[in-house]
A and B are shown apart, each in its own frame.
Chain A
Amino acid sequence: MTLVRQNRSEAAPWTALREIENHFSRFFGEPFGLVEWPNGGSGWAPALDVSENENEYVIDADIPGVNKDDVSLEILDNVVTIKGERKSEKTEDKKGFHRVERMYGSFQRSVQIPGGFKSDDVQAKFENGVLHITLPKREESKPRTITVQPN
């Protein structure tokens, strides 16, 4: 997927990423945020939260009903890609569907982290259908306080 533009001079990288995604007809504000992904109608994309504090960046992705073994995390430069597959648990003996709103099949999303992170120390935890990823900041990305020297 080539959704993420590697443009370091971008003034507001987070905004830029969202614009790119909007371009791909992403629809925000859906109930619990699961959206169609325009790759032939077979994919979907989990809703994400991205935040940061003094020491780390945090990504939370909603991927309910996905097996832990069917999720993978890829890191390339400053870009984190979450990909996986929600397998249908339906079996042959199901007689009829009255409603199918949940999305099955493969999914993929990328987040560009401006300023970078320590890629060797990234941690991911999957709990209750939420993938929680912490990306520790590099020293140079942490906020620094500079004291103004008196004359």
Chain B
Amino acid sequence: MTTATTATKIRSIAPRVDVYEDTESFTIQAEMPGVDREHTQIEVHDGTLTLRGTRTVANGSSNIHVSERARGEFRRTFALGKRLDIEKVQAQMNDGVLTIRLPKSERLQRKTISIN
């Protein structure tokens, strides 16, 4: 996986991400506090993974004093390369952090062969 590209739309917001790799997979962790699973979309297409969605921040009709939390549409795209098994991509939302696990293709995984 090459490094991520950032959101291109000027007005869109982009969640912060960590991307790391271990022997079996790549993992993307994106901070999306207060975003529902239903409002999040992960799209794998043409060698890229796009994470998009909408973040709504409920304030009702109340009087707002401080408003720092980003709201609106967000989008981030990552270039995947060809070394991944995209059929086995898994995603999970936990405490406002979305974890996407992208397993490497079998042939890329390091294997240890013991000598008899």
Contact = CB atoms under 8 A, between A and B. Distances in A.
Partners in one complex: yes
Interface of A: 14, 17-18, 28, 30-34, 47-53, 58, 60, 62-67, 90, 93-103, 111, 127-130
B22 A14 contact: no
Interface residues of B, number: 42
A99 B19 contact: yes
Nearest to B2: A98
By Cβ-Cβ distance, the 10 closest A-B pairs, closest first, are A129-B96, A64-B96, A129-B33, A53-B62, A50-B66, A64-B33, A99-B19, A47-B68, A101-B16, A62-B33
Interface string B51-64: 00000010111111
B18 A129 contact: no
12 contacts: A31-B16, A33-B68, A33-B70, A64-B96, A65-B29, A93-B22, A99-B3, A99-B4, A102-B16, A127-B34, A128-B95, A128-B96
Given A53-B62, A101-B18, 12 more contacts: A14-B65, A31-B7, A34-B16, A47-B70, A48-B69, A51-B64, A60-B34, A95-B20, A99-B3, A128-B93, A129-B31, A129-B33
Q: Is the interface of B mostly helix, strand, loop or mixed?
A: loop
A127 B93 CA distance: 12
Given A100-B18, A102-B29, A130-B33, A49 B95 contact: no
B18 A99 contact: yes
B67 A49 contact: yes
B84 interface: no
Contacts of B66: 14, 17-18, 48-50, 111
Interface of B: 1, 3-4, 7, 13-23, 26, 29, 31-36, 57, 59-70, 74, 93-97
Contacts, number: 139
Contacts of B95: 64-67, 128-129
A138 to B, nearest CB: 17
